Amino acid sequence: MAAVEDILLQSTNTTILLGTFAILFILYLFSPSFGPQRKEPPGPWPLPLLGNLLQLDPKSPHSTLYELYKKYGPVFTVHLGAKKVVMLAGHRTIKQALVNNDAFTDKENLPIINDLKLEHGIVFASGDSWKEMRQFALTNLKQSGMGKRENEERIIEESQYLIDVLRQKDGKAFDTTQPVSYAVSNIICSFVYGNRFDYDDQNFRSAVDQAKKNTQLMGSPSLHLYNIFPRLFRWLGARKQLMKGSFANRKKMTELIKGLQETLNPQMCRGFVDCFLVRKTQLEASGNMNSHYYEDNLLVSVVNLFTAGTDTTSSTLRYGLLLMAKYPEIQDQVQVELASVVGSRQVRVEDRKNLPYTDAVIHEIQRFANVTPVLVHCASRDVTFQGYFIKKGTPVAILLSSALQDEDEWEKAYTFNPGHFLDKEGNFRKRDAFLPFSTGSRSCVGEGLAKMELFLFFTSLLQHFCFTPPPGVTEDELDLTAVVGFALSPSPHELCAISRSDKD
């Protein structure tokens, strides 16, 4: 009799459980967020708790997202744990979402961003404060010479320091990371602080090296796991390293800002920090104590400018040198064009229009390197986009790699091919899907600066050196695999910079 009662009890429990699931499923189907008026973007079916995490390749998550884009279309959903993320892919969809559209201008408030107190400044801020800081940075950079002759002179001067360092290598194999990063970082430092730093300055070297490490940690699988499950994974070593390194760098920046403040001359601003301090003083003198010009906004803006102005450009330039070593016939063709058009004099920005092949190679480096494959925004309001409802506060990820490596847009999407940017007559041609700096109001603040840096550094280096693999390594053995981080960077490698005068 007891056995019968047990069977009946189990049967009743099963019925209740199935009935509960049925009710929940019906409620889900007929909830306000489901149906023709609020159709949500399609996507792969998520697992409980994990969502679609197991489907993403941890070594190249953007590649998995690209495959999902091809399957589900330009607006689709993935679940990272329990968190729903709407993906926007394809250059047309990205432009529609970001150009003249304020629905996706906010930034997601990630746990690690709160931990690092990065919600101020330019990159991770939202709302009026972000708008003010971005506009102030743009105005200040333009007034300080971004895109102008004085900026060109700064980069040319810095390229000579870099050339001197490479000459000292005497053709022996070396890691390109530090010298290239120090040179690129000095350009943004000259804008932010008003001066460059010697490559032997230990504080400068430490700050640049730590910033690069921080960028890698920010995009590591461990940090993604923490952002998805913050209560479970606060103990992760990557988070602790990132916290320690970030605040160590911030302490150095605070000391530099304090030194500039003590020597401030309102009549002669040396850089971004001086301009910010003057603006802050002016507003306080007028009685405006509630402005966006306060210490945290200054410090985090400096962190943003220094990090972004160092890592992405230096990674792209390093990829460029690596690609020249891997494809010597392309390097030779660049050098032939430089010799024919420029000769032995210093390359100038105005020469770009007469260097179509070189210009195409630099654009192809940016496309192929794909250093910022994904940018995460947030829906600033409820919006229906391309027929799909996206709720306010939903993370919205912009898949830039879908524009840069779309097989429907590029003839040889996964091959390094400067011909992507050349017409049949060998003239440079623009491509609509070329979006390495994103677009719209969230596009890279330093886009003009980065373009000038890449052109002048790259051409100056190729005028003086031929880049080759280390002895015993063939071109085919050079690894183009990226290291995953907040931005992608080349795998650790060494190159030889052979002086062209020695070669001749």
269 is in an annotated binding site: no
CA distances, 62 to each of 227, 364, 399 (Å):
18, 19, 7
Using alpha carbons, select from 198, 241, 239, 203 the residue that is nearest to residue 222: 239
What three-state secondary structure class fits 182?
helix
Q: Are the beta carbons of 388 and 394 closer than 8 angstroms?
A: no
Distance CA 305, CA 322 (A): 26
Using alpha carbons, select from 107, 115, 126, 120 the residue that is nearest to residue 295: 120
Distance CA 180, CA 319 (A): 11
Using alpha carbons, select from 373, 484, 319 the residue that is nearest to residue 62: 373
Distance CA 483, CA 490 (A): 6
Distance CA 248, CA 264 (A): 25
Q: What are the DSSP calls for 121-143, one per residue?
A: TTTS--HHHHHHHHHHHHHHHHH
What three-state secondary structure class fits 261?
helix
Amino acid at 256: L
- As annotated, the binding site for heme includes 444
- As annotated, the binding site includes 444
